[in-house]
């Protein structure tokens, strides 16, 4: 008999499990339709509970301890957050922070009247960030916590759109024909494009190039700007390569443009990562409210703000840049409060965790973590380049020609001094070197992702943004818990895997199976998910884990 080429594993399991003697049993009904829709589990025996339906609520609940164990066990199949080098999101806080968060787990940030102390801490965080980013007056700056940078970016973009509309109306011009547009690099994170699409703003993506360091090219951006441009999103820390986009250069060009045309185009800085990194690692770098054209900045508290997932921030340089129309007066449960956010309820605990970091780490604590991240990222970058198997696209391990000018005169560059290097995020983006590709054209870079995963490491392999979409990169985000020891292990594993591929007679044969294992669709993975093709076509920009 010929072997089947496709087995439905749900049906396979159903066929293979013990059958009840009567087909009219409740259990048999549940399993009709080809899929295993309920699970019995080992703890059934211990706790005497019945199998649990997978896709509808059980009529009777089970013992909390059994429920805990069951869900806990299933979740161990997730990757380890520590080894998730694909993500910018922070995964470690000290036990004292965990305790504080658990104590405040049930508080809702919106209940300002009930939790006034929480509200005061929230407002303090806003002031601390406004001050860190050099707002002209922390009194006049205004801002709010959000669930992350994505919500913060929607708010920043909306404010710019409203201000453009008000200006157009005041000048007696149409706000519809033509409508508003917003300009950003094609390397933009998906949240930026979402803002444009969700709020009916034309998204103008500026292609990237090797010369533009895989990020926004301000000169090219000027070709996309006109009187209907509500603003430019400038990214402090491109998700692809960690490069900072040149905020000052963009602002200078927009100054010239305003002098020529009278059109004032504001900048919103997407500092999702950099907003919490640059002020500590490279405090002299000019990117924030010191540049008058920067009207608003967002950041993710849960990235280099070093809090757990669930907190972001948006700050406007002063109240005049946040249209009143977006601010709601809440006469809810007591006092009057002002709200300008997309969510109503949100957990207070991540905001408390953010404040914990400000207090417990202080400027020096944040700085030393940032410098350590960069040091480890440089180690990884150099190891990859020295191996000759890889080419590194990120630049934080290269001496900054502009900044180390003085040092070259002295003929020594201090390798430990962060100021000697190109500023950027502790991100290492790399690809197979040209030599390796020429000598071993049959080896595919995506196999590295799969083979690393088998060792526990999660390192994504994906295409660069439009303009350079033919180039695939592997990317490692070096966060606080990616210690030197782990970097050494990663380098070891990477080199071992690469050499294994080189040495094999036919890597194709050995690895094709691995590549396709990932593509297999299992019912459980797809249940409740949209089918492929259900979303709009990919614009090719960043829509991966971050």
Residues that bind ligand PLP in the complex, under the rule CB under 6 A: 88, 148-150, 189, 191, 235, 237, 239, 270, 272-273, 300, 312, 546
Residue nearest to ligand PLP (CB): 148
Closer CB to ligand PLP, residue 195 or residue 322?
195
Q: What is the DSSP string of 31-65?
A: TTTSS--EE--HHHHHHTPPPEESSS--SS---HH
User: Residue 152 or 436: which CB sits closer to ligand PLP?
Assistant: 152
Tell me the C-alpha distance between 475 and 458, whole Å.
Answer: 10
Shortest Å distance, C-beta 543 to ligand PLP = 11
Q: Which is nearer to ligand PLP, 300 or 444 (CB)?
A: 300
Instruction: Give Rg (Cα) of the chain.
Output: 26
Q: What angle do CA 347, 364, 298 make, to 5 degrees?
A: 40
d(CA 130, CA 298): 11
Which residue, chain included where needed, has tokens 């700007």? 225
In whole angstroms, how far apart are CA 12 and each of 7, 77, 126, 278? 7, 21, 56, 54
Whether 222 and 257 have beta carbons less than 8 Å apart is answered as yes
Beta carbon nearer to ligand PLP, 49 or 238: 238
Contact 186, 224 (CB under 8 A): no
**Residue whose token pair is 């790399």:** 430
Nearer to ligand PLP, 160 or 546 (CB): 546
CB atoms within 10 A of CB 52: 17
CA–CA separation, 328 and 90 (whole Å): 32
Taking the complex as a whole, the smallest distance from the CB of residue 497 to ligand PLP amounts, in Å, to 27
Least Å distance, CB 148 to ligand PLP, is 3
Q: How far apart are CA 317 and CA 142, in angstroms?
A: 7
Q: Which is nearer to ligand PLP, 191 or 451 (CB)?
A: 191
Kindly state the smallest distance separating residue 88's Cβ from ligand PLP, in Å: 5
**Residue 191 Cβ vs ligand PLP, minimum distance, rounded to whole Å:** 4
Instruction: Report the alpha-carbon distance of residue 372 to residue 378 in Å, rounded.
Output: 10
Q: Which is nearer to ligand PLP, 82 or 190 (CB)?
A: 190
Beta strand spans in 261-382 (E): 267-270, 294-300, 312-316, 328-331, 336-339
Residue among 401, 403, 384, 404 at smallest CA distance from 392: 384
Coil/strand/helix, residue 526? helix
CB of 542 to ligand PLP, least distance (A): 8
In angstroms, what is the minimal distance from the CB of 160 to ligand PLP? 16
| CA terminus-to-terminus distance, the chain | 47
Pairwise CA distance, residues 483 & 195, whole Å = 36
Q: Decide whether 141 or 272 has the Cβ nearer to ligand PLP.
A: 272
Residue number with CB closer to ligand PLP (237 or 424): 237
Q: State the nearest-atom distance from the C-beta of 195 to ligand PLP, in Å.
A: 10
Q: In the complex, what is the shortest distance from the CB of residue 235 to ligand PLP, in angstroms, rounded to a whole number?
A: 5
CA dist 145 and 125 (Å) reads 9
Nearest-approach distance from CB 151 to ligand PLP, in angstroms: 7
Cβ 501 to ligand PLP, closest distance in Å?
Answer: 31
Q: Which is nearer to ligand PLP, 272 or 348 (CB)?
A: 272
Helices (H), 336-440: 349-387, 405-410, 434-439
Least Cα distance to 480 among 242, 305, 313 occurs for: 305
**CB nearer to ligand PLP: pick between 37 and 154:** 154
CB 349 within 8 A of CB 457: no
- Which stretches does DSSP call E strand in 402-463? 427-432, 461-463
Looking at beta carbons only, is 70 or 311 nearer to ligand PLP?
A: 311
In the complex, the smallest distance separating the C-beta of residue 42 from ligand PLP, rounded to whole angstroms, is 37
């Amino acid at each position: 008999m010929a072997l089947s080429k496709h087995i439905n594993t749900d049906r396979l399991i159903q066929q293979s499990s013990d059958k009840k003697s009567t087909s009219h049993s409740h259990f048999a009904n549940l399993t009709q339709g080809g899929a295993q829709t309920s699970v019995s589990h080992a703890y059934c025996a211990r706790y005497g509970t019945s199998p649990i339906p997978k896709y509808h609520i059980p009529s009777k609940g089970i013992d909390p301890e059994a429920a805990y164990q069951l869900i806990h066990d299933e979740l161990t199949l997730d990757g380890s957050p520590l080894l998730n080098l694909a993500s910018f999101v922070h995964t470690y806080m000290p036990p004292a922070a965990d305790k504080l968060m658990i104590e405040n787990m049930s508080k809702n940030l919106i209940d300002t009247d009930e939790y006034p102390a929480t509200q005061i801490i929230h407002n303090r965080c806003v002031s601390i960030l406004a001050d860190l980013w050099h707002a002209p007056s922390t009194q006049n700056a205004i801002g709010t916590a959000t669930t992350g940078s994505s919500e913060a970016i929607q708010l920043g973009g909306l404010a710019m759109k409203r201000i453009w509309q008000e200006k157009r109306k005041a000048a007696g011009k149409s706000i519809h024909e033509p409508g508003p547009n917003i300009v950003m690099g094609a390397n933009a994170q998906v949240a930026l494009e979402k803002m444009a699409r969700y709020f009916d703003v034309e998204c103008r993506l500026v292609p990237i190039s090797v010369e533009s360091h895989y990020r926004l090219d301000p000169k090219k951006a000027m070709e996309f700007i006109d009187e209907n441009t509500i603003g430019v999103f400038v990214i402090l820390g491109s998700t692809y390569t960690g490069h900072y986009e040149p905020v000052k250069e963009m602002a200078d060009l927009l100054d010239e443009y305003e002098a020529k045309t009278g059109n004032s185009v504001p900048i919103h800085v997407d500092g999702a990562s950099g907003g919490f990194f640059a002020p500590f690692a490279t405090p002299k770098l000019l990117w924030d409210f010191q540049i008058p054209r920067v009207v608003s900045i967002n950041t993710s508290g849960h990235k280099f703000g070093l809090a757990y997932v669930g907190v972001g921030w948006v700050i406007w340089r002063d109240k005049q840049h946040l249209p009143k129309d977006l601010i709601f007066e809440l006469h809810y449960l007591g006092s009057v409060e002002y709200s300008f956010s997309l969510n109503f309820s949100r957990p207070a605990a991540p905001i408390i965790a953010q404040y914990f970091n400000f207090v417990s780490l202080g400027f020096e604590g944040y700085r030393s973590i940032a410098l350590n991240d960069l040091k480890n990222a440089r180690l990884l970058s150099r190891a990859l380049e020295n191996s000759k198997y890889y080419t590194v696209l990120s630049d934080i391990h290269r001496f900054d020609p502009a900044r180390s000018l003085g040092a070259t005169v002295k003929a020594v560059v201090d390798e430990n001094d962060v100021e000697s290097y190109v500023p950027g995020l502790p991100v290492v983006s790399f690809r197979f070197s040209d030599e390796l590709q020429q000598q071993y054209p049959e080896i595919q870079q995506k196999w590295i992702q799969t083979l690393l995963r088998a060792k526990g490491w999660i390192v994504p392999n994906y295409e660069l943004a439009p303009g350079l979409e033919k180039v695939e990169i592997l990317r490692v985000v070096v966060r606080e818990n990616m210690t030197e020891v782990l970097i050494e292990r990663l380098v070891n594993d990477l080199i071992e895997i690469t050499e294994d591929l080189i040495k094999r007679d036919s890597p194709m044969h050995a690895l094709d199976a691995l590549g396709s294992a990932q593509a297999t669709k299992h019912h459980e993975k797809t249940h409740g998910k949209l089918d492929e093709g259900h979303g709009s076509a990919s614009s090719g920009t960043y829509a991966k884990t971050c």
